[in-house]
Structure 1
């Protein structure tokens, strides 16, 4: 996958032990806790030495969950000290926006941490309509969800903030920002607020439009709090040209 390919690329630098990062990403029970894209991940029985088959389920809309299958393989010990895992996946569900895809994770030790990165791509369903929907809606959403999930994983490893707590932090901050915008746009309670300033009320009322504009700008553009997961903290374009690992070519599409 090249730097300018149409696939998705996400990279996060995580200050954590390589073995801990590997465990949180390769164990299905832990993986499904931090990855927003998957509601369930289950390994299927396999023969010795064969790639690992798995079943996954993801919620595409409230009340609508689609399932699929995949196959994965990993290289835990590589000569250059990095690790790699690759997978192919697909869903036969007619309401799944993607038909099949493939991707990889790379674990690159970097000083006191690890560069954890992914590259993946997929074929959307529903013909021309699906292609347009993917370009303008689903693909940007998938990129955001992957980056947000990577930062949630980072918070778990670096600060011990569980994925469940990180989600609560995000929802709380999102609600607070939405409330500020709502109150600023509607002016609800503004009169009572201005009267609190007594003799200075006329001056405060004069400045209110500017103060409301500042409040809305802060709510919209202020960086998320340190313990709130944020997609913006992840790199979305590789610094140098990258290619999918050879391991990916050894995997067949799931049936």
Structure 2
């Protein structure tokens, strides 16, 4: 059975520059994204970073690399990343994904698509049957948390736990380019 890549989409009532800053600055990113406890740039290595995730009492670390296109002919932007973890506690061995930013009436349509490979052999593939839907839910919940932060100005740490809702985000791509990784991902080095 082929696993399905994860996809999340939302529209945020903000301008492109603000959304770009809140998603590209590691300190701001870690504040709204439930999947990360910390994201730290690696000194002397442009585009490279370390991440820390805390999940069910486990702390997992990994590294990544990213690149972005801040000017596109269609007025949008894209950001691509590759990530990996050598941590034996991490179900995720490596992966890649993208963010796509498309100006629309009244805001920006913010899209992510990503996939990953697992470790632990058959057990890892079985564990992913439970983890992948949870990881998709965490991504969508985080996108809505970001939306609420930018639209209301309320810090994400102060939002009630039930304010963000994964259900407000689209979870499958529309026909067209949104479900297709940008070409910049092909040129990005491994994490």
TM range (shorter): over 0.9
Corresponding position: 1:21 with 2:16: no
Tell me the equivalent position of 2:174.
239
Q: Deviations over 1:96-124 (max 9, x none)?
A: 01000000000000011000000000001
Tell me the equivalent position of 2:100.
106
CA contact (8 A) 1:10 1:234 kept: yes
Q: Any idea what SS the aligned residue of 1:68 has?
A: strand
Q: Deviations over 1:37-93 (max 9, x none)?
A: 00000011246xxx500000001221x211100100000011110100000000001
Which TM-score applies when normalising by structure 1? 0.71
CA contact (8 A) 1:44 1:55 kept: yes
CA distance in 2, matches of 1:5, 1:114: 29
Corresponding position: 1:252 with 2:189: yes
CA distance in 1, matches of 2:34, 2:174: 25
Matches within 5 A, 1:36-115: 36-46=34-44, 52-62=47-57, 64-115=58-109
Which runs of 5 or more structure 1 residues have no equivalent in the other structure? 174-227
CA distance in 2, matches of 1:59, 1:240: 35
CA distance in 2, matches of 1:66, 1:238: 29
CA distance in 2, matches of 1:61, 1:127: 21
CA distance in 2, matches of 1:66, 1:109: 35
Q: Deviations over 1:211-232 (max 9, x none)?
A: xxxxxxxxxxxxxxxxx10000
Which TM-score applies when normalising by structure 2? 0.95
Q: State the 4+ residue runs in structure 1 displaced beyond 4 angstroms.
A: none
CA distance in 1, matches of 2:97, 2:16: 20
CA distance in 1, matches of 2:56, 2:95: 20
CA distance in 2, matches of 1:5, 1:248: 20
CA distance in 2, matches of 1:99, 1:239: 28
Matches within 5 A, 1:1-255: 6-46=4-44, 52-62=47-57, 64-135=58-129, 137-166=130-159, 169-170=160-161, 228-241=163-176, 242-254=179-191
What RMSD in Å do the two structures reach over aligned CA positions? 1.4
Shift of 1:5: 7.1
Which runs of 5 or more structure 2 residues have no equivalent in the other structure? none
- Greater helix share, structure number: 1
Q: Report the count of equivalent residues.
A: 188
